[in-house]
Amino acid sequence: MKIHKKIPYTHFLLYGAVLITTLAVGILIGVTAVDTGASLFEDGRIYGKYTNADKKIDQNVSFNIYWQVWKSIQEKYVEKPVSEKDLFYGSLKGMVASLRDPYSIFLEPQPAKELFNNLEGKFEGIGAEIAIKNNRLTVITPLPGSPAEKAGLKSRDKIYYIDDFDTTNITLLEAVNRIRGKKGTPVTLKIKREGIDDLLEIKIIRDTIKIVSVRSEIMETKAGKKFGYVKITGFNEDTTSKFIENMNNLISNGINTFVIDLRNNPGGLLDQAQNITGYWIEKDKPILIEKFAGDKRVVLKSPGPGKLSKFKTYILINGGSASGSEIMAGALQDYKLATLVGEKTFGKGSVQDITEFSDGSLLKLTVAKWLTPKEREIDGQGIEPDVFIELTEEDFNNDRDPQLDKVMELIDNNGQNQN
């Protein structure tokens, strides 16, 4: 299974066990389970502790130094006792960190479990999207059917307190950490709602949240032209099926112009991004090139059917569009099957291989880079839009969307790219 994963950009989804790291955590391919024999800590001891400790691994490196440092910490560190488990996992994290690659990481069992939960599109939390607007923590939207919606939380509610914590000057990271939590546990939000003077107190019981990765609606331009707006928030396990369902519904309603919104889409499962892109690109044409060490290249081809190529398509992108979003945007731009509107994408185009170990920990290691079908490198470069339109903080704070407005202008002008 080929997968890639990251985190939302401007907004954070409060689905519970969210991995808050750098933008666009990465792309994982080939999940491999490694059996190390006995489970590492099954009876409170570390197994194989001195295995190969004297083995010469390099003419200038003595592995004995590792164990000398280990012993010194155990015997001399002022805060005792020192957890051998923490030392063990910490040394593995440090080893991977020495690569100075932000997408190569070692995860202990619990964070590793949370990573896979993210990819499955399920989390434990309240099910609401938040952002900082006008220097105040604000609800962007509660998810349909979520605990947040059922409890009465509404779009544009300003969150003043999380339980008894004052959210003045709070960061998104801290807000997510305070609001998320285990299924069945409560969190109380004190909110300010437009038209109501006093703060409202809303108690929400956290639950398992299923992410809806695709949503759509029929919209209309100023000139009265109808188009299908399709928002893809991430490429999860069910994204292709949800995409097909939404597109069929739009087409059955006579829609022949589409706006695909990939803004702040951090990626997800590579095969899902590949499958959806294939609905525009003819079967067996290249969608993506993976470049490995030694310039070895693997071409990933379209599964087809390419049926959407006959429809006029616009794609909204920004600096939060990463990984799978960049694959889709870059490929459709190369084949001139879509007009890209917005801002340059993030530039996350490397491939990570995942190895899962018997204790539940995992290693995510960069093994390749991504190129578009025309061999444009994505990593560190990003995908430039055909029509550049910035969405400023002032626009966001005042609920303006000049990027979508520009697309509607292009639709009214018969799809011509007018800057």
| Distance from the first to the final alpha carbon of the chain | 41
Cα–Cα distance list, 313 to 334, 338, 382 (Å): 14, 5, 20
Report residue 325 as tokens.
């979003």
Specify whether the CB–CB gap between 402 and 343 falls below 8 A: no
To 10 degrees, what angle do helices 84-97 and 64-76 make? 140
Catalytic annotation on 348?
Answer: yes
> Would you put residue 358 in left (φ > 0), alpha (ψ -120 to 50) or beta?
alpha
- Residue 251 is classified by DSSP as H
Catalytic residue among 231, 348, 364, 406: 348
Tokens encoding 344: 């340059």
Provide the pairing of β-strand 339-342 with 312-317.
parallel
Q: Which of 323, 325, 350, 361 is catalytic?
A: 323
Radius of gyration of the chain (CA): 24
Q: How far apart are CA 390 and CA 395, in angstroms?
A: 9
Q: How far is CA 89 from CA 55, 63, 86, 107, 149, in A?
A: 21, 17, 5, 8, 40
Whole-number Å distance between alpha carbons of 182 and 124: 6
**Active-site residue flag, 323:** yes
* Euclidean distance between CA atoms 84 and 74, whole angstroms: 8
How wide is the angle at C-alpha 319 spanned by C-alphas 317 and 322, nearest 5°?
Answer: 75
Identified catalytic residue from 207, 261, 271, 334: 334
Residue given tokens 């194989």 in the structure block: 48
> Distance of alpha carbon 28 from its chain centroid, rounded?
12
H helices present in 133-263, as ranges: 147-151, 172-179, 239-252
Residues belonging to the active site: 323, 334, 348
